[in-house]
Structure 1
Amino acid sequence: MYDILVNSLNYEEWPRGVQYGTQLAVLMDASVTGAYVYPSPLYATPSFSTPELIEAVLETARTLEASALAAERPFVSWASSMGIEHAAWVVGQGILSDALVQIACWHDLLVLERDPLRTWASPSDLAALILAVGLPCIVVPPQPVKAVALTRVAIAWNGSPEAIRAVHSALPLLQRANEVLLLRGAPKEAFQEVSWKPPFDIDAYLQRHGIRARSQDLLTNEHTAGEALLEQADRFHADLLVMGAYGRTRFSEWALGGATRHVLWHARLPVLFRH
C-alpha cells in the first residue's frame, strides 16, 4: 500500500478519518491524498429560480471552492509534520460517491469516516461506495481511535471470494501485526461450478506470506454473525478487523449480507472491507 486516499468531510480541521488515514500512512511509509468533495450548486438550485437566486447559489459554491482549495497548504504542512514525505490535497465537485470512485482509481486504499449524522444516511449509502470503489476500504468508527496501531488484527473468515480478496488486500497490514486471529465462520462455497484439489488453504496462504495466525471457530448463525464478530474482535483487543464485503445489485440498489451490514454500522474499531 503506497498511496492512501482519505475522504475529508471538513477542510477547516482534520476529522477522525483523515487523522487515522494519515497516521496509517506514516506507519506504512505511504503517501496520502486528502480529498474534499462538495455537491454541485445545480443540486441546490430550485427548479423555479430567479436569476438573482441562481447567482447567489453559484457565488456560494465559488466561495466554498476557494476556501477548500486554500486548505491544500495547511493539509500538506500538517501531513509533513506527521512524517509524510508525499502528501496531496484535491477538491472535487459532484456526488461524493461518484467522485471517490473516480479518484480511487490511482490509489491503493481508501479511508472513510462513518458519519451517520451528516454524510451517510444509512448503511446502504456507505456500502454502495465500498462495493463500487474497487479498493480495500477502511471505515473509521464515530468513536475516537486511541492510537493507530496494527499490533492485533482479526480476520473474519468464511472462505468466500470476498474474504479471500480482503485478506489478500490486507497482507501489508497483516505482516506488521504481532498477533493475527482468524475468526472462522460457517464456510461458503468460494467458487461455484469449479472444484480445486487441493482446496484453498488460508493457513498455508498466510504462512507463505510470513503470517502465523491462530484460529477460533465462530459458533453462530447467519443472523448473529456480525454481532459475534465484533464481540470476539473486542475480546481480542483488535486494532483492526479485516472482512469481505458481501453484496449484490438488485434493481440498482445494494443488498448487503447481514454480517456486513451489522459490522459496517456498529463496529467500534476500524474495519477493512473488500468486495
Structure 2
Amino acid sequence: MPFKVILAVTGPDVPDPRLDLAVSLCQDAEAHLAVLATAVAAPPPIGRYAAEISDAWHEERRAEIANLQKFAAELREKLAQKDVSSDISTIYEEEGWVDDVIGQRAKYTDLVLLGPDLLAHPLMKEKVVEGALFRAGKPLLVIPEGARPTLKPKRILVAWNARIEASKAVSAAIELLAGAESVHVALVDPEQGERDHGFEPGADIATYLAKHGAKVTVDRLPSQGRPVEDILRQHAVDVAADMLVMGAYGHSRMRQRIFGGVTRSMLDNPPLPVFLAR
C-alpha cells in the first residue's frame, strides 16, 4: 500500500526531537506528515494528603499544558518553513492512557515512525510501539541512530517464518518490496510440511512476491544453535540490506506487551531500519 500519511510522535520531554528525519522521509515519499506532540500527565493525588496537594497538582498540570502548547507552536513555525505537507495535534494524558490516544491517532495514518529520539526514551518508545502495533494495527518503521530512512529501499531483507505476523508485515510492505532492486527472504531452520513452510520452504512466499514484481532470492539459513536475531543481523550485513521487514510477535497481558526475543531485540537495538507489523 502507498504511504501517504506518516505519523511522528514527539513531545517537550523528548530530548533532541528528530523531526528532520520525518520531514525528509515524507518529502521523499511525497507523503503528509502528521505530528503528535505528547506530554504525559502526572496522576491525580490520592490518599490522606490529596486535598492538601491538589492545588499544587492543578498548577503543575496548567504549567505542563502551557509548555506543551508552546512546544507545538514552535513545531508549527519550524514545519511551516519546510517543503512538506503537515499538521500538528497535541495530547496531554496520564501514562496509562497515552498508548490508547496514540493508537487512536495512528488509525488515520499509514505508517508510524519510531526514531532514535524515541528509542532513547523508554516510556515514549513503549507507548508508541503499543499504540501503533496493538491499538491501531499499523506498521512501525524503527529508525536507529545514524540511519537515513527511506521508503524507497534498494535492498530489503524479509524475516520469514510462515506465521501470520510475517504475512501481515509482507502485505503491509508490498509496495516497498515490489520497488526494491533485490529482496532476500531469510528462513532460519525452516521446517518442511503442509502446516509449516510447505514441502519446498520459501517457494510459496517467493512466488507470491514475484507476482507483485519483486526480485526475490530465498536464503535458507541454519541457526547452528545461535539466536535467530543474531543470524538476521549478520545476514542483513551480508546482503547489504537497507531495511529489514518482519512481523512483530507478542501478546497482551494486563495491558503489558510481552514481545518475543527477536522482536524485543530489534526494538532494543535495531541494526538497520526495521519495518514491523502484526
TM range (shorter): 0.7 to 0.9
For 1:183 and 1:63, the matched residues in 2 are separated by 49
Aligned residues: 263
* 1:247/1:50 CA distance change after superposition, 3 Å: closer
Letter in 2 for 1:204: T
Q: Give the CA RMSD over aligned residues.
A: 3.2
Show the counterpart of 2:257: 254
Aligned to 1:24: 25
1:72-91 aligned within 5 A: 72-80=75-83, 84=84, 86-91=85-90
* 1:66 to 1:168, Cα distance in 2 relative to 1, 3 A: same
Counterpart position of 2:10: 8
**Mapped contact 2:159–2:246 kept (Cα < 8 A):** yes
Please list the CA deviations of residues 122-170 of structure 1 after superposition, one character each: whole Å capped at 9, or x if unmatched. Answer: x8766544531300111122x2214645122111111111111101101
> Pairwise mapping of residues 157-196 of structure 1 onto structure 2 (< 5 A)?
157-187=160-190
User: 2:219 aligned to 212, 216, 219, which one?
Assistant: 216
Distance 1:186-1:19 versus aligned 2 partners, 3 A rule: farther
Residue type at the aligned position of 2:175: P
| Matching residue of 1:70 | 73
1:54 corresponding residue in structure 2? 57
CA positional deviation for 1:270: 1.3
TM superposition shift of 1:106? 0.5
Residues 200 and 239 of structure 1: CA distance in aligned 2, closer, same or farther (over 3 Å) = closer
- Report Cα offsets for 1:75-97 as digits up to 9, x if no partner: 432442xxx2x211111111432
Cα shift at 1:207? 1.2
TM-score when scaled to structure 2? 0.81
- For the 8 Å contact 2:112–2:132, the answer to whether it is kept is no
Determine if contact 1:160/1:190 at 8 Å carries over to the other structure.
no
Farther off after superposition, 206-215 or 2-11:
2-11
Return the letter of the residue paired with 2:43.
Answer: Y
Q: Distance in 1 between matches of 2:173 and 2:92?
A: 31
Residue 104 of structure 2 corresponds to: 102
For 1:186-234, what per-residue CA distance to the aligned partner results, in whole angstroms no more than 9, with x for missing partners? 4489997xx9xxx982111111111111121121168600111111112
Query: In structure 2, what is the equivalent of residue 35 of structure 1?
Result: 36
CA contact (8 A) 1:157 1:163 kept: yes
Which AA in structure 2 matches 1:219?
P
Counterpart residue identity of residue 43, structure 1: P
User: Is residue 265 of structure 1 aligned with residue 264 of structure 2?
Assistant: no
Q: SS of the residue aligned with 2:138? A: coil
AA of the residue aligned to 1:170: A
Distance 1:180 1:78, change over 3 A: farther
For residues 74 and 232 of structure 2, the distance between their equivalents in structure 1, rounded to whole angstroms, comes to 39
Residue 55 of structure 1 deviates from its aligned partner by 3.9
- Structure 1 stretch displaced more, 239-248 or 61-70: 61-70
For residues 161-180 of structure 1, the C-alpha deviation after alignment (integer angstroms, 9 at most, x for no partner) is 11111011011222332222
Q: Which moved more, 1:251-260 or 1:89-98?
A: 251-260
Contact 2:153/2:176, CA 8 A, preserved across alignment = yes
**Any gaps of 5 or more consecutive residues in structure 2?**
none
Question: Which residue does the alignment assign to 1:202?
Answer: 205
Return structure 1 stretches of 4+ with deviation > 6 angstroms: 11-14, 123-126, 188-192
Counterpart Cα distance in 1 of 2:15 and 2:262: 33
